[in-house]
Amino acid sequence: MTDAPLSLYFDIPKGEHVDLEVVARSAIEWVAIIKDIGAAVAPGVDFDVELIQTEEGSLWLSNAVKALKTGDRKALGAIVSAVLAFFAMGPALHLQADSGNKILEFLGHKDFAEISDKDKQDIADRVVKAMQETDVLARQHNLVQEAKRDERVKAIGIDRSPRQGGPQVIIRRQDFDSYALPAPTKVHPSEKKTEVQTSVRVKILRASLKEGDLKPRWKFGEGESTWSADIEDSEFVEALNAQQTGLPLAVGQLMVVDVAIDRKMIDGAWEEANRRIVRVIHPSVERRQRSLDLGR
């Protein structure tokens, strides 16, 4: 898949025509929303949003989210799913604690059956992050308000491709005012950042695994340095519990891991806050299914 369809819909009475300026301004906000969410869901992935065609019967703007590099194409479906889920949440007058749960509920629909539960959680987390750290909510507000300017627009909607009976996600005119309040002020992400180091060779200095412990914290040696980290590779932990890794929990055992290093800005300098083992490369364990490769 080198591109993935995604369409914006305007519900217009038969025989009527929508104001071209309204469509144009709405389309600008629409493309910006896709790019903001795409940057959060699949950071580092290069893509364009192309206009394929318009469809009559109300108005459909059929777009394609197109990968610019072959290696990026796996993330396209995740970007489309994230945009659909974002609009399906309804108006976000404030950042609700259950925003992520609402996204997961929408992604539970059979149309998203090809996405693993782990990747659905990842998509939900990244959409919430986009809501917190980008202008995506303000752009949604602007899109709806542009559509509201033309009284002939009875609803707007989002779907992958045009379909008879209307789109999967729809916002009706009587609900436009719910989007009228200014979007929440975004939280600037400059106070925190995460660095990921891949294929790090480490030596176990201290390890234990208590029954029911899903994120054990071990101590490692890396060259001359020592540090502790939570093991967040759930499939590795499951294999440990089932004694299927061939790895003794012994001092001196060598491992190869991907490490996420969380940092905070303290007094103008980045200070390390935590380390997490996000994937164990060696010893290898059986994996249930491949990830969507959303990027980090």
Residue by residue, DSSP assigns 196-231 as: EEEEEEEEEEE----TT-SS-EEEEEETTEEEEEEE
Which region among 56-65, 144-153, 241-250 has the lowest average model confidence (pLDDT)?
Answer: 241-250
Higher pLDDT residue, 169 or 65?
A: 169
Query: Which range, of 67-81, 112-126, 146-160, 281-295, averages the lowest pLDDT?
Result: 281-295
Mean pLDDT of 9-15: 89
At 52, the amino acid letter reads I
Contact between 41 and 106 (Cβ < 8 Å): no
pLDDT of residue 43: 81
The amino acid occupying position 13 is P
Domains, the chain, ordered by start: 3-179 (no CATH), 189-282 (2.40.50)
- Give the whole-angstrom CA distance, residue 271 versus residue 71: 33
Beta-carbon count within 10 A of 257 CB: 23
Rounded-to-integer distance, Cα 116 and Cα 121, Å? 9
Q: Is 256 exposed, middle or buried (0-12, 13-18, 19+ CB in 10 A)?
A: middle
Q: What pLDDT does residue 50 have?
A: 75
pTM over 0.85: no
pLDDT higher than 50, residue 292 = no
Three-class SS state of 246: coil
φ, ψ of residue 172 to 5 degrees: the values are: -85, 155
* Lowest mean pLDDT, pick from 20-29, 207-216, 284-293: 284-293
What per-residue confidence (pLDDT) applies to 46? 75
Residue 92's pLDDT is 60
Q: Kindly indicate the confidence band of residue 229, based on its pLDDT and cuts at 50, 70 and 90.
A: very high
pLDDT at 290: 41
- Give the pLDDT mean for 133-143: 86
pLDDT band, residue 213 (cuts 50/70/90): confident
118-122 long-range Cβ contacts below 8 angstroms, 24+ apart: 118/234, 118/291, 119/78, 119/291, 119/292, 119/294, 122/292, 122/294
